[in-house]
Structure 1
Amino acid sequence: MSSASFAGRVVLVTGASSGLGAACVRRFAAAGASVYAAARDQARLAEVAASCAELPGEVAFGPLDVAVPASCREAVAAAVEVFGRLDVLVNNAGRHDFRLTAEVTEEQWAHDVAVNLGGAFFCSQAAIPHLLETAGNIVNVASVAGVVGEAYSAAYTAAKHGVVGLTKALAVEHVKAPLRVNCVCPGGMDTPQVHTIEVPEGADFELVMRISAARGFMSADSVAAVVAFLASDDAAAVHGSVQVVDHGHLAG
């Protein structure tokens, strides 16, 4: 567990009902933060909050559909209303669906981009005024698909490249302001989503599994540790960075 303390700080985590989002909620709560966990599934959010009951921090939760800009604004406002301030935004929400590019519909393209890029933009847009007040920071969660291509994932890959670009654009825009913006690009993680992957008929499964390094899937906790580091004072000099966390997959 990191020695960095988040006592007195407020963290908003999107996509917090499972996987990396839930791991981030627990990580920040263990470090003393007040955490607002946001996602669509309120029952699972309640379970995540209950799992943090014995930790030093406090966890509240509420609804968020990152595909809807108004919902992004409402989640940020709710976090500030509950805890009185905002110090960290973790844009974690996203979804990866594998599709043959020739068969992607207009609706699927628009939805994939809205969930995987639009949510990060609109949550950031709403949070920035609050984060400037607290000299806070944003940690965007992209993917290794944000720095390399991924088969049967044209919309997802384009959106995650967009998250990397969004990170850099916000970092440059705020290079003279009291706001840091960084990005984490995880490789394959052992999360519930991995166990429900549906590969389109006719797809080459070896190409799908290129996201997995020789060391296998990572735990969500190991990636949450990097998110927490970037959000901490230990990373005070880290701004506009893109951190690949992938068990060495892209090293070769």
Structure 2
Amino acid sequence: MKGLNGKVALVTGAASGIGRATAVRLATEGALVICADRNLDGAMRTAGSLATDSAVFAFDAGDAASCEALIATARKWRGRLDILCNVAGIGGFGHTAQIDEATWRQLIDINLSGVFHLSKHALPFLEAVKGNIVNVASAAGLVGTAYASAYAASKHGVVGFTKAVAIEYASRGVRVNAVCPGAVDTPLIAGGFNAIEGVEWPLVERMSPKIAPMAEPGDIAAAIAFLASEEARFITGAMLAVDGGQTAG
């Protein structure tokens, strides 16, 4: 894609799923990719498969200090940072009345606070090179999703954060967008609703994809690569649903 060759891109959650597919896609387009994940072995395997130079760093998306250190280290690797892809995240399914404090806090810390901390520390570097951020939200960040209230809350937060920062930094030349995947064949949703007792299936089925059973990680990676590229130079504050029509109605 236009404008990705030679760019330095940081991809979190790069050990598996959408993060791994994003790292591969960006490298295919010529970007120099930093693979970050708490699963260091998985991130190293991803980096080893890339077509361009890469780096690997371990970090914890749920820890503010770890996020700050990752951005500083990533910036030092090539002396610049052009693209931040906030992909790292976890899922969570269950009855709302049964969600405990630890589960709620973990989902918010990793899925939402991690995006905040990484973006906060990356923005000065991105502003210097007119770079951009692509966050991974969710179809559950656009509409209500039964049996996923904590997860949906975290992803609605990502949507709101993305829009707010896009407005704030538009005049500074930094674009900020998000992709909103629906059902994707990744470990994050393995088991999913089938593991919950007493599910009202009509509430779940209303969120089914309309055109395919489930997306592949590469489908989401393609959307991320587009938003990160110069092809999307006039797009900011957008929530790109890649959900097979789940949120269309």
- Please give the range of the TM-score, normalised by the shorter of the 2 chains: over 0.9
SS of match in other structure, 1:93: coil
Deviation at 1:175, TM superposition (A): 2.1
Q: 1:212 maps to what in 2? A: 208
Q: Give yes or no for contact 1:112–1:155 (8 Å, CA) kept in 2.
A: yes
* Residue-by-residue CA offset, 1:42-82 (whole Å, 9 max, x unaligned): 11111111221xx1x21211111111011111111111111
2:244 corresponds to 1:247: yes
Residue identity matched to 2:23? V
Alignment match, 1:46: 44
**Do the aligned partners of 2:139 and 2:246 also contact (CA within 8 Å) in 1?**
no
TM-score by length of 1: 0.93
Segment drifting more, 164-173 vs 100-109: 100-109
Distance of 2:126 and 2:36 partners within structure 1: 18
> What is the TM-score when the length of structure 2 is the normalising length?
0.94
Structure 1's 212 and 19: CA in aligned 2 closer, same or farther, altered over 3 A?
Answer: farther
String of CA shifts for 1:181-221, please: whole Å, max 9, x gaps.
01110111111223343633323355445443131101111
Worse-matched range after superposition: 240-249 or 158-167: 240-249
Asked whether 1:180 is paired with 2:178, we answer no
Distance in 2, Cα, partners of 1:11 & 1:120? 15
How far apart, in 2, do the equivalents of 1:62 and 1:128 lie? 19
Q: What SS does the corresponding residue of 1:251 show, helix, strand or coil?
A: coil
Distance, in Å, in 1 between the alignment partners of 2:97 and 2:22 is 36
- Which among 151, 154, 179 is matched to residue 156 of structure 1? 151
The CA distance in 1 between the partners of 2:3 and 2:235, in whole Å, is 17
Contact 1:189 1:220 in 2 (8 A): yes
Partner residue of 2:69? Answer: 74
% identical aligned pairs: 43
| Counterpart residue type for residue 40 of structure 1 | R
Distance in 1 between the 2:14 and 2:205 partners? 25
Letter of the 1:43 counterpart: D
CA contact (8 A) 1:34 1:83 kept: no
The unaligned stretches of length 5 or more in structure 1 are none
2:6 alignment partner, one of 2, 5, 8:
8
Q: Quick one: distance in 1 between partners of 2:226 and 2:62?
A: 28
1:66-215 alignment to 2 at 5 Å? 66-197=61-192, 199-205=195-201, 207-214=203-210, 215=212
The Cα shift of 1:134 comes to 0.7
The reply on whether 1:228 has 2:225 as its aligned counterpart is yes
Q: CA deviation at 1:237?
A: 0.3
Structure 2: runs of 5 or more not aligned: none
CA contact (8 A) 2:132 2:174 kept: yes
Deviation string 1:144-201 (CA, Å, 9 cap, x unpaired) is 0000011111111011000000001101111211100011101111112233436333
1:203-242: CA deviations, max 9, x gaps?
Answer: 3355445443131101111111111110101101001111
CA contact (8 A) 2:142 2:247 kept: no
- Distance of 2:31 and 2:223 partners within structure 1: 16
Contact 1:5 1:32 in 2 (8 A): no
Q: Which amino acid aligns with 2:158?
A: V
Q: Provide the rounded CA distance (Å) in 1 between the counterparts of 2:13 and 2:207.
A: 21
Change (3 A) 1:107 1:195: closer
